Amino acid sequence: MKNGISDNSVFRHAALLIEGGKIIWVGSMKELSQYSVFPENLIQYDCQGKWLMPGFIDCHTHLVFAGNRSNEFEKRLNGVSYQEIAEQGGGILNTVNATRAASEEDLYQLAIRRAKAMLNNGVTTIEIKSGYGLDHETEKRVLKVAKRIEASLPINISKTYLGAHAIPPEFKGNADAYVNKICDEIMPDLADANFIDAVDVFCENIGFTLAQTEKIFRRAKSLGLAIKGHTEQLSAMGGSELAANMGAMSVDHLEYLQASDVKAMAKNDTVATLLPGAFYYLKETKLPPINLLREHQVPMAIATDFNPGSSPIASLPLILNMACTLFGLTVEEALQGATLNAAKALGMQNQVGTLEAGKLADIVCWDISHPRDLVYEFGVITPSWIMKKGDRVQG
* 3-class SS shares of the chain: helix, strand, coil, % to 5: 40, 20, 40
Closest by CA position to 325, among listed 280, 273, 370: 280
- Helix-helix angle 136-152:92-101, to 10 degrees: 80
Cβ nearer to Fe ion, comparing 265 with 331 = 265
- For residue 154, the minimal CB distance to Fe ion (Å) is 24
Cβ nearer to ligand DI6, comparing 98 with 352 = 98
233 binds, among ligand DI6, Fe ion, none (CB under 5 to 8 A by kind): ligand DI6
Phi–psi pair at 219, nearest 5 degrees: -65, -45
Question: CA-CA distances (angstroms) from residue 80 to 68, 88, 99, 342?
Answer: 17, 11, 24, 34
95 binds, among ligand DI6, Fe ion, none (CB under 5 to 8 A by kind): ligand DI6
122 binds, among ligand DI6, Fe ion, none (CB under 5 to 8 A by kind): none
255 binds Fe ion (CB under 5 A): no
50 binds, among Fe ion, ligand DI6, none (CB under 5 to 8 A by kind): none
- For residue 311, the minimal CB distance to ligand DI6 (Å) is 6
Contacts with Fe ion, 133-172, as mask; x by CB under 5 A: ----------------------------------------
Q: What residue number has its CB nearest to Fe ion? A: 305
Residue 71, classified by CB atoms within 10 Å of its CB into exposed (0-12), middle (13-18) or buried (19+), is: exposed
Q: What residue number has its CB nearest to ligand DI6? A: 309
305 binds Fe ion (CB under 5 A): yes
User: Checking DSSP bridges between strand 22-28 and strand 14-19, what pairing results, if any?
Assistant: antiparallel
255 binds, among ligand DI6, Fe ion, none (CB under 5 to 8 A by kind): none
CA 300, 302, 303: angle at the middle one, nearest 5?
A: 145
Question: Interface residues with ligand DI6 (CB under 6 A)?
Answer: 91-92, 95, 165, 202, 230, 233, 278, 305, 307-310
- For residue 147, the minimal CB distance to ligand DI6 (Å) is 22
Question: CA-CA distances (angstroms) from residue 281 to 22, 304, 308, 354?
Answer: 39, 12, 11, 31
Within 8 A by CB and 6+ apart from 114, the residues are: 63, 306, 314
309 binds, among Fe ion, ligand DI6, none (CB under 5 to 8 A by kind): ligand DI6
Closest by CA position to 228, among listed 181, 299, 162, 290: 162
Cβ nearer to ligand DI6, comparing 219 with 253 = 253
Residues that bind Fe ion (CB under 5 A): 305
